[in-house]
């Protein structure tokens, strides 16, 4: 009887932990909370609502995450020992309080960056890559269902009134578009990989694309097309060198031709996408951002110490740009503003190291699921060209990057150890 009670309690705790993980991922995705608390206000008009409840929810997530890591402290310490390439950027962000233009904001943002990164660590240590993927499918499934409900039943929340586009459970149509890019790739890989319930995954893929189109996010649509192409292109990396190298050369040649064609016909392309040549004011914004970067080029203004509206250094950009940009709309420029070229260089070194490991992983694997780390990092690099999607605290993109980096590193080392064991076994047999 006691054994039966123990087993039931264990199942209940596992189910509760799964529920916590899905709920936390939903919060980190930016879904539901802000759009509800702001009463469906437009993104530029959301400065008036009380965000204390959001801070409380994040604090609870931090506390539960820390507790779960402590309960598995041996595995936590083991994984932490594999993350040395992450620590310099965290240290720089925290130390930047010394030269920050707004020390209190830097302190708060550094705290949230470290805590949200700990959730990425927990996600990698607790769940296998396959389990992570299925949890993400649940998260995006919930987001899609709620987005449809909000847009149809609660249009004051689900429709962005100034442009008449769907925003679902997010504060801006681009938020829905960005999440549907990742959702499309998740369901594409699951549909491509799974034999059972493949119809359900392809349905999720189709619904993700439909919501992306209803959001009218042109940059997200372009990113999705590139990522779908990349998903199939990365599989070429597994072919034999005699076939792979000529194929990659042909693809590179075609890409160059397309690049020159698109460059010459940029106006036509922008018109077809419903955009102008300034990318909705972004190209007018970026020179102003560069002016401010060159004032503090090496270490920046401190993590989160620049973009503070009229109260910060960003007031110069608001005055000269002619519109109230919520951020630089470029992740690389945002990182330079925060931590300078030193911070950007440290981040890119770690990113490139993980990217190369993910490439090696794809080369030695056979499943579509193993391409996911490479695809997500490619997405971050693409999305950061038009949005501030790099070193962003409490962000799903950052959390998944942390989790996938640890997953790739652990799998890479496990394969090296297994390969050495096989060689030793062969040697002893001889």
What is the per-residue pLDDT across 351-386, written as a single tens digit (0 to 9) for each?
999 999 899 888 888 888 999 999 999 999 999 998
pLDDT at 152 over 70: yes
Indicate left, alpha or beta for 75 from its phi (over 0: left) and psi (-120 to 50: alpha): alpha
Indicate left, alpha or beta for 49 from its phi (over 0: left) and psi (-120 to 50: alpha): beta
pLDDT in tens, 265-313: 555 555 555 655 555 667 789 999 999 999 999 999 999 999 988 888 8
Number of domains in the chain: 1
* CA–CA distance, 380 with 69 (Å, rounded to integer): 26
pLDDT in tens, 11-32: 888 889 999 999 999 999 999 8
Q: Are 129 and 135 in contact (CB under 8 A)?
A: no
For the chain, the average pLDDT equals: 86
Residue with the larger pLDDT of the pair 331 and 418: 331
Tokens 């096989």 correspond to 422
DSSP 208-274: HHHHHHHHT-HHHHHHHHHHHHHHHHHHHTTS-HHHHHHHHHHHHHHHHHHHHHHHHTHHHHHHHTT
The secondary structure of 45-98, three-state, reads HCCCCCCHHHHHHHHHHHHHHHHHHHHCHHHHHHHHCCCCCCHHHHHHHHHHHH
Q: What percent of the chain is modeled with pLDDT above 70?
A: 85
310: burial class by Cβ within 10 Å (0-12, 13-18, 19+)?
exposed
Please, which residues have CB within 8 angstroms of residue 408's CB and are 6 or more apart in sequence?
354, 357, 358, 361, 373
Task: Identify the CA nearest to 369 among candidates 404, 397, 401.
Answer: 404
Query: Any idea which of 103-112, 249-258, 419-428 has the lowest mean pLDDT?
Result: 419-428
* CA–CA distance, 380 with 354 (Å, rounded to integer): 13
* CA–CA distance, 414 with 361 (Å, rounded to integer): 11
* CA–CA distance, 25 with 186 (Å, rounded to integer): 14
Q: Say if strands 159-160 and 165-166 run parallel, antiparallel, or are unpaired.
A: antiparallel
Predicted local confidence at residue 265, as pLDDT: 53
What is the C-alpha R_g of the chain? 23
pLDDT at 195 over 90: no
Task: Give the mean model confidence (pLDDT) for residues 403-414.
Answer: 80
pLDDT band at 190, cuts 50/70/90? very high
pLDDT at 189 over 60: yes
pLDDT band at 264, cuts 50/70/90? low
* CA–CA distance, 108 with 128 (Å, rounded to integer): 31
- Containing domain of residue 291, as a range? 2-429
Predicted local confidence at residue 339, as pLDDT: 96
Predicted local confidence at residue 207, as pLDDT: 97
pLDDT at 346 over 80: yes
């Amino acid at each position: 009887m006691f054994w039966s009670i123990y087993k039931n309690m264990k199942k209940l705790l596992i189910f509760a932990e799964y529920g916590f993980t899905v709920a936390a991922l939903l919060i980190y995705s930016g879904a539901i909370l802000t759009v509800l608390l702001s009463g469906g206000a437009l993104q530029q008009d959301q400065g008036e609502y009380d965000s204390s409840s959001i801070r409380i929810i994040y604090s609870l997530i931090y506390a539960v995450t820390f507790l779960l890591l402590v309960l598995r402290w041996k595995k936590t310490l083991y994984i932490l020992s594999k993350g040395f390439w992450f620590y310099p950027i965290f240290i720089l962000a925290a130390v930047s309080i010394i030269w920050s233009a707004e020390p209190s904001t830097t302190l708060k943002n550094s705290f949230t960056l470290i805590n949200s990164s700990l959730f990425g660590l927990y996600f990698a240590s607790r769940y296998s890559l396959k389990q992570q993927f299925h949890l993400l499918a649940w998260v995006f499934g919930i987001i899609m269902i709620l987005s449809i409900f909000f847009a149809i039943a609660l249009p004051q929340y689900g429709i962005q009134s100034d442009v008449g586009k769907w925003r679902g459970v997010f504060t801006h149509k681009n938020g829905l578009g960005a999440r549907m890019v990742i959702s499309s790739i998740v369901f594409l890989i699951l549909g491509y990989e799974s034999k059972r319930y493949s119809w359900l995954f392809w349905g999720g893929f189709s619904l993700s694309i439909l919501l992306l189109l209803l959001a009218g996010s042109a940059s997200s649509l372009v990113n999705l097309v590139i990522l779908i192409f990349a998903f199939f292109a990365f599989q070429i990396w597994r072919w034999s060198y005699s076939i792979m190298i000529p194929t990659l050369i042909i693809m590179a040649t075609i890409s160059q031709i397309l690049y020159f064609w698109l460059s010459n016909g940029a106006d036509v392309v922008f018109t077809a996408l419903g955009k102008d040549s300034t990318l909705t004011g972004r190209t007018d914004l970026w020179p102003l951002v560069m002016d401010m970067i060159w004032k503090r080029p090496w270490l920046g203004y401190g993590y989160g110490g620049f973009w503070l509206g009229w109260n910060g250094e960003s007031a110069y950009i608001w005055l000269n740009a002619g519109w109230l940009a919520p951020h630089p709309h470029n992740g690389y420029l945002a990182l330079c503003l925060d931590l300078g070229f030193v911070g950007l260089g440290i981040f890119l070194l770690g990113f490139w190291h993980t990217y190369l490991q993910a490439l090696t992983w794809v080369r030695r694997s056979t499943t579509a699921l193993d391409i996911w780390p490479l695809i997500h990092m490619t997405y971050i690099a693409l999305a950061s060209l038009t949005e501030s999607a790099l070193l962003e605290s409490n962000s799903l993109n950052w959390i998944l990057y942390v989790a996938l980096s640890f997953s790739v590193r652990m799998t890479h080392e496990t394969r090296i150890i297994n390969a050495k064991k096989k060689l030793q076994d062969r040697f002893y047999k001889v």
